[in-house]
Amino acid sequence: MNFLQMIIPLNITKTISDWISSIMPETAASYTIMVVIAVAYLALFAVAGLYLVLLERKVAAWFQLRIGPNRVGPWGLLQTMADALKLVSKELTSTIKIDKFLYNLAPYFVIVSALMAMAVFPFSKQFQAFDINIGVFFLIAISSIGVIGILLAGWSSNNKYALIGAMRSGLQTISYELSVGLSILTMVLLTGTLQLSEIVEAQRTGGWLILQGHIPSIIAFMIFMVAGTAETNRAPFDLVEAESELGAGFHTEYSGMKFAYFFLAEFINMFIISSIAVVLFFGGWLSPFGITENIAWFPEVIWFLIKVLGLIFLMMWFRWTFPRLRVDQLLTLEWKYLLPLNLMNLMLMAIIIWLNWTI
């Protein structure tokens, strides 16, 4: 199992994996390491989700000149933990006339596809669970599975608001997937590889890709952030769960932990979109100007997280600044503006690479 090398800086995981191999026979050790990695990613998933919810509430409060959650723990740090505990202890209710099997299955589609996408990200040079040679394409493939969960949730709830929400979501995700894919493709032209670790390595010498590809890169980044926000169903593209029209959209009928799965998946998807942007445009875990490149013990994962949090803040800024789009405006934006712009941008990038005008 050569792809299961997860060696964090400071070599904690290397030490752990050596220790496990030393006390067990080889096969048992490899299974144990797999389980440990899975548990580590699940923990990361839960913690990231919970603290992004808290961050969203704090940022929202800041934009609206409020204080935000401040009662549970210092600065309200334990608020979302308490919320999660409350959700776990809640009863899972459902209505009678639903399709039980699909109703129970739907949240897992959303959460599993988000978790699978997490596996391929290079958090730092050695902290990557699955360095697949088609990394970026794998991410696009996985993200196209997630929408099935939303469609199923809406349909099996047997509720007209949920169904309308699901239809809108399908419409939106299928349309904006094109823009996400094409803007990623523009950057792949520049790197010439789909493997995420190699994309990061390509930025070590030439500078971050957003500088290497200058004009088309910046256009691609803007389109990616707009389309990415739409993919995660967040405001200003949140007509999927528009509270004032649809109740809660596709997850109206869900309660307790199943509701929490949808809720967490939204925040994890935001994390995923920001991570793709960081890897493709901002040099992944590389430090700016190489300032920590020679410090061997410095955990590079910190740079990755700082950049990701910066982009997440940008997405939250969108949410609390722009009003919600109507469904026809949503489709006009994608099909009449973003898509033609994206195709032209792709050609521009090809010409720039052909003429060797990259920096």
Partner 1 sequence: MERIIFYILAAVIILFAVASVTSRKILRAVIYLLFVLIGIAGLYFLIDYNFLAAIQLTVYGGGIIVLFIFAVLLIHHVELELEKTALKKKLIAGLLSAAGLAVTLWAISTYPFPETGSAYTSVEVADIGKILLSYEDGGFILPFEVISVLLVAVMIGAIVIAKGKKLTENN
Contact call for residue 350 and partner 1 (CB under 8 A): no
Q: Using CB under 8 A, which of the segments 9-17, 45-53, 169-177, 282-290 binds partner 1?
A: 169-177
Contact call for residue 133 and partner 1 (CB under 8 A): yes
> Site mask, partner 1, residues 56-95, x = CB under 8 A?
----------------------------------------
The DSSP H or E segment spanning 333 is none
Q: Can you say how many angstroms the Cα of residue 146 is from the centroid of all Cα atoms in its chain?
A: 12
Among 126, 156, 203, 342, binds partner 1 (CB under 8 A): 156
Contact call for residue 134 and partner 1 (CB under 8 A): yes
What backbone phi and psi angles, to 5 degrees, belong to 326?
-80, 165
Pick out residues in 182-201 that bind partner 1 (CB under 8 A). Answer: 192, 194
Show the 3-state SS of 92-144.
CCCCCCCCHHHHHHHHHHHHHHHHHHHCCCCCCCCECCCCCCCHHHHHHHHHH
We find the least distance from the C-beta atom of residue 79 to partner 1, in angstroms, to be: 36
The token pair that represents 161 in the structure block: 């608001």
CB 104 within 8 A of CB 93: no
We find the least distance from the C-beta atom of residue 91 to partner 1, in angstroms, to be: 23
d(Cα 251, Cα 228) in Å, to the nearest integer? 21
**What is the total count of residues that contact partner 1 (CB under 8 A)?**
33
Contact call for residue 138 and partner 1 (CB under 8 A): yes
Among 167, 302, 341, 353, binds partner 1 (CB under 8 A): 167
Contact call for residue 178 and partner 1 (CB under 8 A): no
CB 79 within 8 A of CB 73: yes
Contact call for residue 151 and partner 1 (CB under 8 A): yes
Contact call for residue 99 and partner 1 (CB under 8 A): yes
d(Cα 327, Cα 237) in Å, to the nearest integer? 9
CA separation, residue 159 to residues 95, 170, 189, 254 (Å): 10, 17, 45, 11
Among 127, 155, 221, 250, binds partner 1 (CB under 8 A): 155
Contact call for residue 152 and partner 1 (CB under 8 A): yes
Nearest Cα residue to 173 out of 125, 213, 113, 95: 113
- Residues 6 or more apart from 171 whose CB is under 8 A from it? 327, 331
Question: In the 8-state DSSP scheme, what is residue 336?
Answer: I
Among 21, 144, 287, 292, binds partner 1 (CB under 8 A): 144
Contact call for residue 343 and partner 1 (CB under 8 A): no
CB nearer partner 1, residue 198 or residue 314: 198
Binding site for partner 1 (CB under 8 A): 27, 97-99, 101-102, 105, 132-134, 137-138, 140-142, 144-145, 147-148, 151-152, 154-156, 158, 163, 166-167, 170, 174, 177, 192, 194
